[in-house]
């Protein structure tokens, strides 16, 4: 039987991806007590990786959609760490967002809102979190954004 968070995802028309495997020598998440630290997730959809540079060949709306894809992967990692029981998720504590951007691009927070807004829509008050949103000269594989997260669980 699906839990409340799974039911809300279904209501939103969202199917979480499988938790992506790590691309190098690290683990996708670490659980310490009631906290799960999830490694940075990059945006991938049915067409593949979402690559680009904000301020050059990608607009804010497309960057926000990429950040939302990262949030879906973050949640998939949490689901895997909780053995499929998302109702053990208490809250989103913090997100760290990295935006592949030109030196003159300054709307990093707007881009990472794609991830933040998703968690707010899904979890309400439990989705409110602390956050960083920074620009980078480049990101792995040329992706547009990368988002990492810290989650409280029970």
Helices (H), the chain: 4-11, 60-81, 108-123
| pTM across the whole model | 0.97
What does the pLDDT look like over 18-34, one tens digit per residue? 999 998 999 999 999 99
Q: Which two tokens stand for residue 92?
A: 């989103």
Average pLDDT of the chain, as a whole number: 97
Mean pLDDT of 56-63: 98
Query: What pLDDT, on the 0 to 100 scale, is given for residue 47?
Result: 96
> Which CATH code for domain 4-153?
3.30.1330.40
> Quick check: 1 pLDDT over 80?
no
Phi, psi of 103 (to 5 degrees): -60, -30
Band (pLDDT 50/70/90 cuts) for residue 43 is very high
Question: What residue spans define the domains of the chain?
Answer: 4-153
C-alpha 17 chain-centroid distance: 12
């Amino acid at each position: 039987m699906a839990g409340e968070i799974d039911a809300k995802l279904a209501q939103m028309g969202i199917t979480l991806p499988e938790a992506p495997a790590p691309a190098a020598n690290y683990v996708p998440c670490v659980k310490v007590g009631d906290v799960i630290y999830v490694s940075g997730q990059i945006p991938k959809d049915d067409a593949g990786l979402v690559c680009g540079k904000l301020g050059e060949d990608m607009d804010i709306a497309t960057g926000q959609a990429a950040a939302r894809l990262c949030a879906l992967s973050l949640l998939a990692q949490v689901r895997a760490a909780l053995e499929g029981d998302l109702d053990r998720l208490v809250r989103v504590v913090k997100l760290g967002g990295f935006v592949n951007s030109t030196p003159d691009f300054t709307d990093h927070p707007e881009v990472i809102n794609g991830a933040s807004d998703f968690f707010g829509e899904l979890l309400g008050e439990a989705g409110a979190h602390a956050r960083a949103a920074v620009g980078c000269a480049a990101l792995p594989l040329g992706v547009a954004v990368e988002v990492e997260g810290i989650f409280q669980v029970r």
